Amino acid sequence: MAYPLLDRTVKFARYDPPAMRSAYLDGGRVVVGDVPDPVPAFGQVLVRVLACGICGSDLHFVKYGRQMAAIGEEAPGQTSPLDFDRPIFMGHEFAGEVLEAGPDTAGPKPGTVVTSVPAMLTLSGPAQLAYSNDFPGGYSDRMLLSAPLLLEVPNGLDSELAALTEPMAVGIHAVNRSRIEPGESAVVLGCGPVGLACIAALRRRGVEVVVASDLSPARRRLAGVMGATDVVNPAEEPVVDAWQRVDGQRTLVVFEAVGVPGMLHAAMRDAPQGSRILVVGVCMERDAIQPFIGISKELNIQFALGYDPVEFAGSLRSIAEGEVDVAALVTGRVGVDGTPAAFEALANPDAHCKILVEPSVPDGDDL
Amino acid sequence: MAYPLLDRTVKFARYDPPAMRSAYLDGGRVVVGDVPDPVPAFGQVLVRVLACGICGSDLHFVKYGRQMAAIGEEAPGQTSPLDFDRPIFMGHEFAGEVLEAGPDTAGPKPGTVVTSVPAMLTLSGPAQLAYSNDFPGGYSDRMLLSAPLLLEVPNGLDSELAALTEPMAVGIHAVNRSRIEPGESAVVLGCGPVGLACIAALRRRGVEVVVASDLSPARRRLAGVMGATDVVNPAEEPVVDAWQRVDGQRTLVVFEAVGVPGMLHAAMRDAPQGSRILVVGVCMERDAIQPFIGISKELNIQFALGYDPVEFAGSLRSIAEGEVDVAALVTGRVGVDGTPAAFEALANPDAHCKILVEPSVPDGDDL
């Protein structure tokens, strides 16, 4: 199912189809242009995007997308569904307002605020809604969603907070995958959105000792807001030392949420005997470890990615019920045309945590 | 507690203490010499060594011992108890016959055949019995054991088979650590003694599909003896392909029992989504992995080392009850003086699996 972009150089002299603004990846850069207005088919619902968070994965994808696809293809029998010679839509942390349903499609009534796991049901199976040549992502005026996957946002919840359902679900999933119990303790390396989501999920799970570390003062402050019981600057005190100081007794689970080469080795080196390491930071480079350290301490390394639909729904419920206060995570808002500048701004961890693309934001973006 | 070696260059002109033959590591080489006969202290028992297997870890230790100690010291607060400028005893897979107990020490009566986890209880805590400057290991005529740790070898079990208690316990422990269930399936990379012990333990656990791989025809034959349901030459068919051919459905646990750089990456690359990888092969080099592969497939990597006393006792019981036929693993026997040659011979995986040092073996060793 192809969703052809309009050639932005073409003037619509004789024929002017409905178009919308969208930011997408083209030739390795995030650009903004007019694309055809999507039209809902059977099983689909057209929504007006209210807010869509920019994810660290999107920044990764801009830099490493081709490489990620190549690694995926290293496994036997795998081919990437993405064509890097065509524009690629991103934007998978969204909330939107239902405009209309496709033919013969039952969906929430127009005006309903919804979110969804970023997937589309197609006749050839589930497809990714973001990292897609075919479906506009949330950095667009409008997008298509699969009606059976829609979750209604509970009445009154700010769409900005609803858009944080997805990143917070990543933390819930990582914590589930870690098999951590309330009687154990946690260290969280890196307090970007993923690390912060882990902190919130750990506290919600009842883990009493959660020691977080980040080089950025702004992120350390947010770690406290999310419920970290202790927060350190790793340049001043190694985080496992801090954990030894405040606990040092319980079984430790280390959450690696930085995702740069060397972090896994450092986690293995510093973790106590019998620790578990949950890797949720996406390191795109080859990385060196010292297996003998793993052997001699009988470490366990669990990699985690994404979430399942139950975890996603739980994340929305948790936000709507005020169990986790995510408002502080939002540090900026841009319109669709401001998306490229927002990608740039996110390179500075002290300036921003989560920037939302909100098509209704006027010129003069809040960055 | 120091156990000084005699200087082999000294002639005992005026004083000739009782001595015994022992093979030990000296200046990075395995050498044989006369060392003082050990005398049992309180809590200790003197045994005559009947058989002691040469472990791959000992070959590793000869090559990497200093490095292993250095890595251990990288962790905060750790120092190696070993002095590499003094001779180091090895030999931790032993069975022996009780000669005498130390003063005020209750132990099995002389003539009893025993084995033990390779540890000594000392006033400063448990110490390693092998990789020790202080206690002669099993490549000696006689050795000291801690009376409370002794396990009596069930009447009639060949001491050669009892000496295999330790390596087979490594497999039991690895399988326990992997949390594998009978309804899951396993692939075993590498059919040296550790891989073979894993195969035996997997079959004893009730795992119905165990696909093993090794480049050596002799080791592949032994994998079949240990109960592997399929055995492949990885140069001819990748082992995960073989598993796909014979199963491909159940959750897969990959046992990495080779321990050379690149194996972990290959296991991660080839393992299906959601697999677990149990690393029991000891890779002493830095090793590169591609974390994104782990993330995208949500792999779990569990490192395993050693065993606990319950697993050790279970291993002895399992051998004594004939649940696992380990006789085929023994491919050579040498006296103490033949130990250095046996270390050399083990470099060829097609010639040997397990060589036993048996002080009673006469000149003209069976290699």
Percent of all residues in chain A with a pLDDT value above 70, rounded to a whole number = 92
Amino acid at B3: Y
| Average pLDDT across chain B, whole number | 92
Amino acid at A141: D
> How far apart are the C-alpha atoms of B340 and B333, rounded to whole Å?
12
> How far apart are the C-alpha atoms of A99 and A145, rounded to whole Å?
11
B270 contacts A241? CB cut-off 8 A: no
Classify residue B209 by its DSSP letter: E
- A236-264: average pLDDT: 96
Mutation target to probe the B interface, by most B beta carbons within 10 A, among A303, A307, A308, A311 is A303
pLDDT band at B11 (very low <50, low <70, confident <90, very high): very low
Cβ pair A191, A216 in contact under 8 A: yes
Q: What confidence score (pLDDT) does residue A168 get?
A: 98
Q: What confidence score (pLDDT) does residue B7 get?
A: 42
Q: What confidence score (pLDDT) does residue A124 get?
A: 87
A259 contacts B293? CB cut-off 8 A: no
Q: What confidence score (pLDDT) does residue A242 get?
A: 97
Distance from CA of B194 to the nearest CA of A (A): 14
Calculate the CA dihedral of residues A211, A214, A215, A219 and round it to 10 degrees.
-120
B68 contacts A264? CB cut-off 8 A: no
**CB-CB: which of A296, A300, A304 is closest to B302?**
A300
A195-232 burial: b if 16+ Cβ within 10 Å, else e? bbbbbbbbbbbebebbbbbbebebbbebbebbbbbbbb
Write the CA distances from A76 to A87, B241, B301, integer angstroms: 27, 9, 20
Amino acid at A197: A
pLDDT band at B144 (very low <50, low <70, confident <90, very high): very high
Q: What confidence score (pLDDT) does residue A71 get?
A: 74
> How far apart are the C-alpha atoms of A258 and A339, rounded to whole Å?
23
Asked if pLDDT for residue B334 goes beyond 70, the answer is yes
Give the bridge partners for B303, in sequence order.
B279
Cβ pair A193, A166 in contact under 8 A: no
Distance from CA of B312 to the nearest CA of A (A): 17
Q: What confidence score (pLDDT) does residue B79 get?
A: 62
**CB-CB: which of B74, B290, B294 is closest to A279?**
B294
> How far apart are the C-alpha atoms of A114 and A147, rounded to whole Å?
10
Percent of all residues in chain B with a pLDDT value above 70, rounded to a whole number = 92
Q: How many CB atoms are located within 10 Å of the residue B34 CB?
A: 16
- A198-205: average pLDDT: 97
- B145-154: average pLDDT: 97
B56-79 burial: b if 16+ Cβ within 10 Å, else e? bbbbbbeebbeebbebbeebeeee
Give the chain A residue whose CA is nearest to the CA of B259. Answer: A291
Asked if pLDDT for residue B167 goes beyond 60, the answer is yes
B290 contacts A286? CB cut-off 8 A: yes
In B, residues 97-156, which contact A (CB 8 Å cutoff)? Answer: none
Per residue in A278-325, pLDDT (tens digit) is: 999 988 889 999 999 999 999 999 999 999 999 999 999 999 999 998
A225–chain B Cβ distance below 8 A for any pair? no
B293 contacts A74? CB cut-off 8 A: yes
Asked if pLDDT for residue B3 goes beyond 50, the answer is no
A299 contacts B75? CB cut-off 8 A: no
Residue numbers in B near A303 (CB within 8 A): 291, 294-295, 297-300
Give the bridge partners for B93, in sequence order.
B53
- B300-310: average pLDDT: 97
A7–chain B Cβ distance below 8 A for any pair? no
CA contacts within 13 A on the Cβ side of A263: 26
pLDDT band at A5 (very low <50, low <70, confident <90, very high): very low
A264–chain B Cβ distance below 8 A for any pair? yes
Asked if pLDDT for residue A209 goes beyond 60, the answer is yes
Chain A to chain B Cβ contacts (< 8 Å): 114
Per residue in B221-264, pLDDT (tens digit) is: 999 999 999 999 999 999 999 999 999 999 999 999 999 999 99
Asked if pLDDT for residue B5 goes beyond 70, the answer is no
Q: Give the β-pairing of A113-116 and A93-101.
A: antiparallel
Percent of all residues in chain B with a pLDDT value above 90, rounded to a whole number = 80
Asked if pLDDT for residue A15 goes beyond 60, the answer is no
Asked if pLDDT for residue B8 goes beyond 60, the answer is no
Residue A148: partners with Cβ closer than 8 Å, 6 or more residues away: A43, A121
Q: Which of A135, A143, A151, A146 is nearest to A43 (CA)?
A: A146
- A265-288: average pLDDT: 95
In B, residues 159-178, which contact A (CB 8 Å cutoff)? Answer: 177
**CB-CB: which of A76, A284, A301 is closest to B292?**
A284
User: Tokens standing for B77?
Assistant: 């607060």
Give the chain A residue whose CA is nearest to the CA of B174. Answer: A298
Q: What confidence score (pLDDT) does residue A9 get?
A: 40
| Average pLDDT across chain A, whole number | 92
- B4-17: average pLDDT: 46
Where does residue A184 fall: left (phi above 0), alpha (psi -120 to 50 degrees), or beta otherwise?
Answer: beta
- A337-354: average pLDDT: 93
Asked if pLDDT for residue A7 goes beyond 60, the answer is no
User: Tokens standing for B330?
Assistant: 């023994």
Residue numbers in B near A302 (CB within 8 A): 298, 300-301
A300 contacts B303? CB cut-off 8 A: yes
Q: What confidence score (pLDDT) does residue A18 get?
A: 80
Per residue in B75-120, pLDDT (tens digit) is: 655 566 789 999 999 999 999 999 999 999 998 999 999 999 999 9
B297 contacts A291? CB cut-off 8 A: no
Q: What confidence score (pLDDT) does residue B348 get?
A: 86
Q: What confidence score (pLDDT) does residue A65 get?
A: 87
Q: What confidence score (pLDDT) does residue B53 get?
A: 98
B304–chain A Cβ distance below 8 A for any pair? yes
pLDDT band at A21 (very low <50, low <70, confident <90, very high): very high
Give the bridge partners for B46, in sequence order.
B100, B144
**CB-CB: which of B264, B280, B298 is closest to A305?**
B298
B304 contacts A295? CB cut-off 8 A: yes
B60–chain A Cβ distance below 8 A for any pair? no
